[in-house]
Amino acid sequence: MPFLPDETKLKHVQQLLETSIYGTRNNSGSIDNETHRKVQQEVDSNCSNAEFSIYLTFIFTNTSSDTSLRYMAGLVLRKSVSIGLTKNIFIEEHIDYIKSSVVRMISESDRNLRKAAANLTATIARQTGLKKWPSLLQSCVTALNDDNSSEMVIEGVLTILSNLIEDCVDELSDPLNPGNLETSPLVPIFPRLVLLSSVSHTVLARKALQCLNKILGSIEFSKNVWLIMNKNPSFSQSYLQTLSQLTNSENSEIKREVCSGLSLLLATNLELVAPHVDNISNFMANCLISDESGNDESVKIEACEFLVTLSAMDSPIEQLNSLSKSALLKLIQSDLIIHLLRSMRYSDDELILLGTESEDSEDIPDRLEDIKPRFHSSQSRSSRKRTQIKDDVTYPSGEDHELEEDYGYLVRLMSCWTLSRFSRFLAKSSSNELKMESLSALLMALRDKNKKVQTGACSALAGCEETFAQTLTSAQVSLICIQLIRTFHHYIYKTLTNNLTRFLDAISTLFESFTFDESASSVQAIKTVMETFLSHQHRFNIEDGILFVFLDCMNTICQSTRILFAPFAKLSWGSSVRDRGN
């Protein structure tokens, strides 16, 4: 039975949304901030009301309403539904009405509304689970494989799939064998996604490539992707052929996804890529060197990612190793290295904009606009690689390339980067003493007087932890935690906000990479970190951008240590609830 709104209530909700969009004017003609604040408080309060969500759904899906009003309703609805599902305020009829209404929005003519609907769909699926919405994925697959589906419908479906792959990847694999892509419902749509990647419609091609790359790059599927590739050679070949055809695209977003896709294929199926590695490497080199149409900064970064992956290849098949090393040698012998070195230097204009870099820069406060939020994730390694390539190593400009005294910090910075590049060799070493010596050097560099050295040390430490932390002993990890906490105090008292976010990522990586047991050393390591974290949590707030990163780090510690986290569960829960209230 269709929902029939009460006209008085409907108008009131519409008025709240309109005020949120346009505000209200006082007698002088200026915006009445007090009225706007009260309206916003009422909207926030109503987000815990199931009936409010129903009215928002009606407005959001009502094609006769103003587009701006519908879009605002969609944004508020996403927040309201998330709160409602968390507090379990919806009855089954409510959520069914919202689901069925939102799914119909995939054919909406306005792209912003389609995107809002896709984001809302992913929010519901993530919080309720795909098992409670079995028709969603089937509807997406059916619409995607239907030759009569309009471009708007396909675009909406691809946006939903992209969100689902990112947010619900664990449910898209075999529930009896988590992470097994072979039995995933995504496998049947691979050929269709490959086909859509080559269409002339730029948005559809880009979104299809994004879906494929998210699947191939997913940490949950990474161990099984190569099985799918080998058992479905036609898919692998057609995907590689499609990517090859798209290398001539002048659209930077398409080209970026092509570079990303080729990097993923190299990492997951070297045997497939090896015969073409020379051509692919030349393409990547051209992306880096040429400023032709479509080669923007994001494309160059992805091309660098390919070269990093190529240089780190270590196949058990010697012939494949030889092919990849041969391609890398040819690049080294070309003009690429010279170009990369030039790209690593700031121009005179950039140095003026950045200001003179001081050897001792840690006492210079971070500017709020320079602080980017960082969240620990399964993709953090790629992020760190790009940071090291793009940000960590920068040279002074000018004809004289010698490192003057003013740029002495660069020697220390490059030393951090070099240690991280040797991490895979350290991992193979049987000498824990050598590993600890390297980690100790990086731990000292975390407290360097230059911010850029600190940044490089954070990235390098996280990379080393990810590569060989599992080979360390509990006693060694406990000692590392003591040093990390000393650095934590140092960053707090020096208000090094920007590097603190990178430092928290390094702590998350350590806890994610090492298996903590019930030994006294493991317990002590967890205690060292958590007692300090809980005593300093009150220092962080939403405005400085640190609180969410800090909580994300504690979440990683909780998930990694499991039952060993129990002594701190009640306190961390109470602190988090207080933060939410504030």
Residue 79 neighbours by CB under 8 Å, 6+ apart: 47
Is residue 238 a contact partner of residue 194, using CB atoms and an 8 Å limit?
Answer: yes
> Is the CB of residue 58 less than 8 Å from the CB of residue 10?
yes
- For residue 11, give its domain range: 1-130
Question: Is 167 a domain residue?
Answer: no
What are the CA-CA distances from residue 88 to residues 50, 55, 81, 400 (Å)?
10, 18, 10, 66
Q: Phi and psi at residue 345, in whole multiples of 5°?
A: -105, 145
Question: pTM value?
Answer: 0.58
Determine the straight-line distance between the first and last CA of the chain, rounded to whole angstroms.
41
- Which residues, 6+ apart, have CB-to-CB distance to 152 below 8 Å? 106, 107, 108, 109, 114
Residue 106 lies in a domain: yes
Report the C-alpha gap between 219 and 240 in whole angstroms.
21
The per-residue pLDDT string of the chain (582 residues; one tens digit each, 9 = 90 and over) reads 577 889 999 999 999 888 887 766 666 666 667 777 788 888 888 988 999 999 999 999 998 888 999 999 998 999 899 899 988 999 999 999 999 999 888 888 888 899 899 889 988 988 888 888 888 888 888 888 888 888 888 998 999 998 888 777 767 765 444 445 556 677 778 888 888 998 888 899 999 999 988 887 765 555 555 556 666 667 778 888 899 999 988 888 999 999 999 988 887 777 778 888 888 888 988 888 877 766 778 888 888 888 887 877 766 666 666 776 777 777 766 767 777 766 665 555 555 444 545 555 566 655 554 444 444 444 444 444 434 433 434 433 333 334 344 456 777 888 888 888 888 778 877 788 888 988 999 999 999 888 888 999 999 999 899 888 888 999 999 999 999 999 998 888 776 677 888 999 999 999 998 888 889 999 999 999 999 998 888 888 766 678 888 888 999 999 888 889 989 988 888 776 665 555
Question: Is residue 158 domain-resident?
Answer: no
DSSP 288-321: HH---TT--HHHHHHHHHHHHHHHT---SSHHHH
Residue 419 half-sphere exposure toward CB, CA atoms < 13 A: 29
Q: What is the model's pLDDT at position 126?
A: 84
> Tokens at residue 522, please?
């493991």
Residue 52 placed within a domain: yes
Residue 49 covered by a domain: yes
Q: Is residue 3 part of a domain?
A: yes
Q: Report yes or no on 469 lying in a domain.
A: no
* C-alpha separations of 360 from 366, 409, 440, 451, 480 in Å: 14, 9, 21, 8, 25
Domain count, the chain: 1
- Asked if residue 125 belongs to a domain, the reply is yes
